[in-house]
Amino acid sequence: MPSNNELRSRATDYGLGPLIMPYIGIDFGTSNSVAANFQYGHAEVLHNHEGQKWTPSVVTLRRDGTLAFGQEAKENFDEQRSIRSVKRILGTPERVPLVGQNLRTEQIAVMLFSLLKRDAEKALGESFTKGVVTIPANSKGLARHATKLCAGAAGLQVLTLINEPTAAAICYGINAQDEQRVLVYDFGGGTLDVTILRIHHGIFEEISSKGVGKLGGDDLDLALAKVLAERFQQKNGYDILNSPYKQQFMLAVEKAKIDLSTEPITVARKAELVPERHLSLEEEIDRPTFERAIMPLIQQSGAALDEAMKLRNLRPKDIDKVLLVGGTSKIPIVQRYVTEKMAGKEPEPFDKVDPMTCVAQGAAIVSAILQGAPGLDNYAYSVKLEHSLCANPINEHRQVYLDPIVKRGSDIPCSFTKTYYPVADPAERVIISVFEGDEYHQPDNAENVKLAEIPWEFTPPRSQRDGALDVTFEYGDDGILTVQIEDTHAKHKKRFPIQQASEDQMDAAQVIKMKRINEELIARSADLESTSEYKEALEVIKKTEQDVIPKVERDEDRRELEELCRQVRLAMGSGDKKKMESASAELNDRLLNYAYLL
């Protein structure tokens, strides 16, 4: 089948111009991010600037002040100059250190969105301004708003935020003819979601979901790292996990983890890991040892699966299909564990749905549905609220509790209203707190999140009887909550978009400044990346990784080429054009030995 670019080119040759507008979906992931475009009846993954289907969600500030991201940033990871896994803390007050500054997580997310958008536009050969972005099913409201804000600051109007498991199911079921109930087990780099959907006649209806906010491949990496770090310390007397070389060690650990998905035994390897002591990592690890290290984490995911089934009183026999999504789901013991939990029902094979790209592809399909793409008139999707949205009144015993205005499981979009009266009589002022959570009788429970505090003044002071306030919660299909308060006595009402917790609110000036900083960094980086030295370095890496390494038979030859590619990326990360030229020449010279493969 011809690619979208080839079809566009043919249309242009015949004077037809662009055939169809792009329908973009972006999976903004903890470990990796993916962009896709729906056209000509299917969702096509858009390759990044290195020719890869997915991009590591890592940014690194090069020594010359320009910005690198993706694999280059990952291989140049430096504790002082790099950020990874920012999605796990997006929407929280937590700051991230970069070159001596403590930056908001939103600033890093804007950089990532900008660079993903730039790569997607290069792959398409045209610009775009609209798209659908995915988010973990069980992420809280502040993270949802922050995701939309950051995408917008990067020049992407978010048509809707769609839950990642729902997007995966849409990718799988877009051509489904029969009604079926599908369980999606989404085990990614930072989060775990289990969502059950009903697919019928082009309608994708989410009926149940549970998850763990911080459980993913990062945690499995750390579990394996502890095993290898203990061995490394026993051999060398060096605590690698509390050293400046931790991230280079973690890269070797991650590669070993990936290898163990297809091999029974591998070697975690990194030459000159601690250069001043000439310590190298060369540690054999087998799959059973790895599985023992990660089993407690996998069992945590099983608890979420059980809860998702229990919410709708479902048993394994009630599920027609099981989909595994996310890079972590490729680990064999994860697949076996889910099969056992589902009473022997095996997940769909990965050739039917790519666990690394299906979320972005599903988002692209939703983008097409929302924008009225031809041929998708009869498709729709339905999503349910993952956590109750509550006010916090005082009961007759003068105890504060959470009163759900919009209950968990409500269809989205939705709007509900409740009436409250002030406690004081007369009342001058009340504060309406907005919570997200399901622990109604324990407002301070860590599972409950305070989204906002809204003060309301009674001028002049009002008697309790005349102080009725109608409080309406409106939850849109974009995942954003708006609160409307109406003073029925004064016939006055006001709407409040719930964005961030009040103590960490970003004002308009901060957002504008964040956009300006991002645009300056992107422009400066584009200047470097347009040089012949950078372009040559990028091309020789693409050629080696896509055309040569997959065909090389000997492990030691593959490792040598991988190391030479890493050296080219290190040169790119330095921003030094002479180093890029030298490293590229060395790799090109070595490729002469493999000319028969090119």
DSSP 513-561: HHHHHHHHHHHHHHHHHTSHHHHHHHHHHHIIIIIIGGG---HHHHHHH
Phi, psi of 523 (to 5 degrees): -65, -45
How does DSSP assign 61-74, residue by residue?
E-TTS-EEETHHHH
- The answer regarding whether domain 4-216+300-384 maps to CATH 1.10.150.20 reads no
Strands 130-135 and 157-163: parallel
Reading the block at residue 44, the tokens are 């096509």
Distances (CA, A) of 28 to 85, 110, 290, 543: 11, 11, 28, 27
**pLDDT computed for residue 18 by the predictor:** 46
pLDDT digits (tens), the chain, 598 positions: 445 555 455 444 434 344 568 999 999 999 999 999 999 889 999 999 999 999 999 999 888 888 899 999 998 888 888 999 999 888 888 898 888 788 899 999 999 999 999 999 999 999 999 999 999 988 877 788 889 889 999 999 999 889 999 999 999 988 777 899 999 999 999 999 999 999 988 888 888 988 887 899 999 999 999 999 999 999 999 999 999 899 889 999 999 999 999 999 999 999 899 999 999 999 999 999 999 999 999 999 999 999 999 999 999 999 999 999 999 999 999 999 999 999 999 999 988 889 999 999 999 999 999 898 988 888 877 777 878 999 999 887 888 999 999 998 888 889 999 999 999 999 999 999 999 988 899 988 877 888 889 999 998 999 999 999 999 999 987 677 899 999 989 899 999 988 654 455 666 677 788 888 888 888 888 889 999 999 999 999 999 999 999 999 888 899 899 999 999 999 998 889 999 999 999 999 999 998 887 7
Residue 505 has what pLDDT? 61
- Tell me whether the omega of the peptide bond preceding residue 288 falls within 30 degrees of 0, making it cis: no
Pairing of strands 192-200, 481-487: unpaired
Reduce the secondary structure of 200-228 to three states and give it as a string.
ECCEEEEEEEEEECCCCHHHHHHHHHHHH
Please give the pLDDT value at position 507.
65
Q: For domain 389-499, which architecture applies?
A: Sandwich (2.60)
Percent of the chain as helix, strand, coil, to the nearest 5: 40, 30, 30
Phi and psi, residue 569, nearest 5°: -65, -35
Q: What is the pLDDT of residue 17?
A: 42
pLDDT reported for residue 502: 46
The candidate with the shortest Cα–Cα distance to 132, out of 26, 42, 218, is 26
